[in-house]
Structure 1
Amino acid sequence: MDATSPAQTRAMAAESAVVRRYVHRYGPLAWVHAATPGAPGARTWHYWWHAHLLHVLRDAEEHRPDPRRARLLRALHRGITVRTLGRWTTPFHDDVAWMTLALQRYDVHDRRIDRLTRRLHDAIDPAVGALPWAIDSSLYNAPANGPAAIALAWSAHRGAAVDLDAWVAVTLDDPATGLVRDGVEHGVVRSELWTYNQGVAIGSALALAEGAPDADARDAHEARAAAIVRAVARWCAADDGLFPAAGGGDGGLFAGILARYLAEAAVWFRAHAADDDHLEVAATAAGLVRRNADALSEGRADGLFPADPRRPARATGDDLDLSVQLGAWITLEAAVDLERAVTS
């Protein structure tokens, strides 16, 4: 694919801005700070933001191979090793799942992946049938169980992934909207709707459809992914297809995660176009990604993307957060995936 295509050009600009503004090198080590230098909390180190930085850098390396990026990835790996004292873990199971997915993105055998997937598997509460959000937490939520299901689907614990995906569907799917609610705590469902929860539900369904033991199982997983894509489209229809914004901080990553898995859905349903319904789902998912990528690009100003695609970027507040810029970059790399799928 042409590295100077419109989608590639936008993604390259986002990558360059993130690396220049947020990545700090310390000899052979590197890590990122949470916000633009000088902003409040700029020097905070976030484990799960690093997971998404690794993941999107690997996306970029697949889209635009460059030895300089490969060196940066190695430096970031060393930085994470130092900052986590070699453990590569945190008490938060959602964060561990994100890091596992980032490492799995390399498509290589790594003892860290085995250790992290085993940790996720062993943390499942048999009395609930799901992962708690963190060690000793009473919250069982989509942000932990969705990415964990994807990670476990690509591990020796695929059966657990099937169970986690089913738990989310039974416990958290909202029958009124078809969207995935946030979680359940002490038997009470937390009804908040976040973009990334929809994304990981699509991702886990597709991960399970890939390599399903039979056609019926594959069809069931495909049907779940398709239903959530359509639910997201209905959710966003009143706002011309734009994803709900979640501000800065952790929320800055939410929409980008949805874009990543919508792009996966678009590619999957186009490649497995058994009927017109599959093509309709592919077109719907692709349209959502492109609409949001376009809006983010149109709102860019002074090298920053907006936390909310409905307005231009500004050099204050949430737009200074790494998470916001990283989320936009993830969305733009997702648009590259769509462009590659059309031209391949």
Structure 2
Amino acid sequence: MYRGQRVGVVMPACNEEGFVGDVIGDMPTFVDRIYAIDDCSTDGTWREILAAAREDRDALERKRTARDRPARDRRETTQRTEGVTETARAVPDEQDSVLTDGGVSVLAKRATVHDPIGRVVPIRHPENRGAGAAIKTGYLAALEDGVDAAVTVDADGQMDLEQMSRLLDPLVEGTADYAKGNRLQSSEYRASMPRFRLFGNAILTVLTKFASGYWKTMDPQNGYTAISREALEAVDVEGLYEYYGYCNDLLVKLNVNDMAVADVAMPAVYGEEESSIAYTEYVPKVSTMLFRNFLWRLRTKHLVRGFHPLVLLYPFGVVTGVIGAIGVLQSLVTLAGTGSVSYQGTASAVVLVVGIASLLFAIGFDVDESEHLETQVGPTQ
């Protein structure tokens, strides 16, 4: 437990042999559950998860035995006096060679859940479903177990596990329902990120600000996150996006449900593992998803649940801005040919200015609406 809260780690893994075992072995001792989801790997990822789980269980048991030996000896002496042995009350060892279907839950319909091995719950997808789907499976398992906070950690070793407590602190202290890493807040942290990733991240940061309404939050692609049980229960976990843009999608769902978000500055860690993201497919798919989510957020939060002028200002600004821009361009072509400015050109310029002003007003309203839901946590000294 961490500061009185039960912590579960959701760790998706696909072809992470050689990495996933180390991540499990390095997990902080305050983590109560590790949901290791093998997304139908074709290498030895599943075997490594099981082996690492047993090693982790044995290592923790040795630590507990060494720490609790004096107290246990006293209890056994007392229990023998009363005719009750500790052995009779012990919980049976895990049948870690047996696979269960996890019952008739939604989780069981999408994955095979292995009996817990110590604190590790190995979970396996029968087919490759994607990173977002693996996260969703882990969230469903965390909800079933009733953990207080679920942390997402990649299996490639590119997340500093020592930073996990900084993600959990805002949840435990009640200042946020969701905390995420931010590699862009510090110039030192930005310098360690490859230029291509930095450029792509900056573009998606802007698009996600529009879609989610969290205008101060940056680095939405950061998969190192922590979410409270209350926030998981509020969002539609089953309906979460199952592609790589799941982090962006979740932010939109959180905003619609008025959940507070903490942006926690932390360094990027890049090792030998190569990214499996195909950016030619990734950028169009995620951009389209963000546009749909933007429209959904405006309709759900600012029209259905309660009216706000920004739901009108956004489309009005876009339409008038586009009409004005087209008119200005046509006027410039005319100006180049005749050397004179027409009345139409002046009117188009006015329409363009009105459109831009409307968009700025809409963004200003949007920022004000969610400002109280955002917190920034600076880098450690």
TM-score (norm 2): 0.25
Tell me which protein shows more helix as a share of its residues.
Answer: 1
Tell me which protein shows more strand as a share of its residues.
Answer: 2
TM-score (norm 1): 0.27
